[in-house]
Chains A and B, each alone.
Chain A
Amino acid sequence: MNVTNEDVLRALDPMLRERVESILDDMRAMPSLVVAFSGGVDSSVVAALAMLALGDRAHAATAVSETLGARELEEARELAREIGIHHELVAFRELDDPKFVENTPSRCFFCQSMRFDQMQRLAERLGCEVVASGSNASDVGDHRPGLEAMSQRRVYQPLLRHEIDKQGVRAIARALGLSVWDKPAKACLSSRIPHGLEVTEERLRRIERAEDVLEDLDFRIFRVRAHGDHARVELGGEELARALDDHALLRHIAERVRDTGFSQVSLDAVGYRSGSLNPVGRRGAERAS
């Protein structure tokens, strides 16, 4: 990434440009900032804008816990280097919280509460007053108890505050030259476990191994939903079409996912849906990422 403010603004449509300018104005008024950084496109944009506004007074912090896969952590490290932002890791254990482990529909509230409490401790250590997140305007209206946790902690959510949706985020990322501008959204591994089934280390690692299998088979949009020992594989639209046409590929998926420890492997007939394990009756069953 190597652009000046003017480069970013020129590439965007006027409304989006105005919103980015407002975010930069927000940030320039802050002495310093810590961005909760997952390596996804949303937090990457916030981190990149923070660098533009604050330079070395901007920090990125990635929460390292049981629900973060090893590949995702490595991608976050690479992206922080790409952006040029100072990058810290914050370790904590979600599985130490029985309320998180229980895996009710409020799971994300407990997780984000822990996460942002850790972020705020880090911010204090770094002498920063503000912690920021990459929540965006497309997140509102879905079942997102995590947003409530952030709101309670007065986390700065610039994309949400300035009404920038996912499409806008990707446009900004592309204008900034970020390599992740079209990276598919990826929720934490615990979102693959239906509510009511406990989140355990064993289940998380098995899901991680199964999803690594799909990534190695060049799928980009996918989830392995773990209904106990049954792996229900969701593939994105075009990728589902590819798999349905290829008997050998389906066999390969079955064998490789089986080898990760599941006793049954199936292919979801509808394919990937964001929030497909969310409680019935809430919005967000199908949403483009």
Chain B
Amino acid sequence: MRHFLTGAPLDEVRRLAMEHGLDVVEAWRHGVMLVLRPRDLGALPDRDALRELADALGGDGVRYVTLSLWDLADECDE
């Protein structure tokens, strides 16, 4: 079950992500995962920056930070 971040929590995630070179459109929790949807899969930070971002966003029940590559829900909405 997904729980989309909104308001201040989403703003904070987007701010931290942008600091590490990642433009995030939306984010959600899926159990212990924090899933980030990048605005552009062609404009991703390098591996080191991504790892630093994962460290910054981890904790508080978040065990994995992951970038959404594809979602069935997107195709159903089209």
A232 / chain B contacts, CB cutoff of 8 Å: 33, 64, 66
| A232 to B, closest residue via Cβ | B66
**Residue A247 lies at the interface, judged by CB distance under 8 Å to chain B:** yes
A254 touches B44 (CB 8 A): no
The 8 A CB mask of A235-256 against B (1 = contact, 0 = none) is: 0010011001001001101110
Given the interface pairs A227-B30, A254-B70, A265-B70, the reply to whether A270 lies near B65 with Cβ below 8 Å is yes
A244 touches B70 (CB 8 A): no
Contact among A240, A241, A258 for B70, CB-based, below 8 A: A258
B46 touches A267 (CB 8 A): no
Interface of chain B residues 38 through 75 with chain A (CB within 8 A): 41-42, 44-47, 50-51, 53-54, 63-73
SS class, residues of chain A in contact with chain B: mixed
**Residue A86 lies at the interface, judged by CB distance under 8 Å to chain B:** no
| A247 to B, closest residue via Cβ | B42
B68 touches A266 (CB 8 A): yes
Q: How far is the CA of A221 from the CA of B36 in the complex (A)?
A: 23
Q: B residues bordering A, Cβ < 8 Å?
A: 30-31, 33, 35-36, 41-42, 44-47, 50-51, 53-54, 63-73
Q: A residues bordering B, Cβ < 8 Å?
A: 194, 227, 230, 232-233, 237, 240-241, 244, 247, 250-251, 253-255, 257-258, 263-271, 276, 280
